[in-house]
Amino acid sequence: MANVVVQNIERADRAATDRLASFGVATVHEAQGRTGLLGAHMRPIYAGAQISGAAVTVSLPPCDNWMIHVAVEQCQEGDILVVAPTSPSDAGYFGELLACSLSARGVRGLVIEGGCRDIAPLTKMGFPVWSSAISAQGTVKETLGSVNVPVVCAGTAIDPGDVIVADDDGVVVVPREHAVEMVEKAKAREAKEADTRKRLLAGELGLDIYGMRERLEARGLKYV
């Protein structure tokens, strides 16, 4: 299990994977029963990116980015790289050169529970990263880890091939086998929200739209 590179992973349905970006993190998270969200300390290095893709996962030792170099070769167009150190560290595991390499392969972004550097060039080239820190601190290339094994990233279990959705709200993972179903659920939710949005903007109250008044009264809410 340790120090392996799994070369052929099964990725989630491609059409579903690509479609999920459009719903955004909050809607997808709700659609799958409020599960799959990564910790709120995972923040985008610049505002405005909204992506989805298949997870290529990396488990690596703290302060050592060797396995990211190994992982690049396993990536293909439409993937998102997910990097999870086995122990937390703010070190800057990732920067512009690795982003160039990933870009050349069609990778859409990076999710890392660790530090990222070269923020200005990454922003300029439009390679989005969600990280737990920004730090120029270099890492070493001394100890092995694994590629495409199950990892825990920012408190959430991620399997290779799962769908990652990331935007300004954070990052959510959709298990590979649920991707297609989640598109349908997210669509339904979005449709319902579109209608609610219209009514709310027109001045109707959520209290009425959601029919909350009775239950509030039953619970004992008093207006004074």
123-142 positions binding a second copy, by CB under 8 A = 123, 133-138, 140-142
Site of tokens 């399997």: 159
If one asks whether residue 35 binds a second copy (CB under 8 A), the answer comes out as yes
Q: Which is nearer to a second copy, 13 or 143 (CB)?
A: 143
Q: How far is it, in rounded angstroms, from Cα 25 to Cα 22?
A: 9
Rounded to whole angstroms, the Cα distance separating 18 from 51 reads 8
Which of 12, 16, 20, 25 binds a second copy (CB under 8 A)? It is 25
How is residue 148 written in tokens?
Answer: 């495409």
22 lies in the binding site for a second copy (CB under 8 A): no
Single residue of 13, 22, 26, 187 touching a second copy by CB under 8 A: 26
Q: What is the dihedral of CA 205, 210, 216, 217, to 10 degrees?
A: 80
Size of the site for a second copy (CB under 8 A): 94
Q: Give dist(CA 184, CA 99) in Å, integer.
A: 33
Which residues in 96-115 contact a second copy (CB under 8 A)? Answer: 96-98, 100-101, 103-105, 115
Binding mask 52-71 toward a second copy (x if CB under 8 A, else -) reads: ---------xxxx-x--xx-
User: Which of the ranges 14-22, 148-156, 179-187 carries the binding residues for a second copy, by CB under 8 A?
Assistant: 148-156
